[in-house]
Amino acid sequence: MRGLIVLSCVAAFAVCLALGSAAQTAEKPHQYVGAAKCKTCHQTAAQGSQHSLWQKSQHAKAFETLGGQAAAAVAKEKGIEDPQKADECLKCHVTGHGVKPEALAATFVKDGVQCESCHGPGSDYMKMATMKGITSGQIEAASVGLVLPSEKMCVGCHNEESPTFKGFNYEEMSKKIAHPVPAERKAQYKKEKTE
Q: How far is the CB of 147 from ligand HEC (least distance, A)?
A: 8
Closest to ligand HEC by CB, 8 vs 188, is 188
Q: How far is the CB of 185 from ligand HEC (least distance, A)?
A: 5
- Residues in the chain, overall count: 195
Q: How far is the CB of 159 from ligand HEC (least distance, A)?
A: 6
- The vertex-139 CA angle with 135 and 145, nearest 5°, equals 95
Closest to ligand HEC by CB, 61 vs 110, is 61
Nearest to 174 by CA among 118, 95, 93: 118
SS3 104: strand
Closest to ligand HEC by CB, 9 vs 173, is 173
Closest to ligand HEC by CB, 17 vs 155, is 155
User: What is the contact surface with ligand HEC in residues (CB under 6 A)?
Assistant: 33, 35, 37-38, 40-42, 47, 50-51, 54, 58-59, 61-62, 65-66, 70-71, 74-75, 78, 80, 83, 86, 88-89, 91-93, 113, 115-119, 122, 126, 128, 131-132, 134-135, 141, 148-149, 153-154, 156-159, 161-165, 173-174, 176-177, 179-181, 185
Nearest to 186 by CA among 121, 115, 135: 135
DSSP H helices in 28-86: 35-39, 50-56, 62-65, 69-78
CA distance 129 to 118: 21
Beta bridge partners of 104: 32
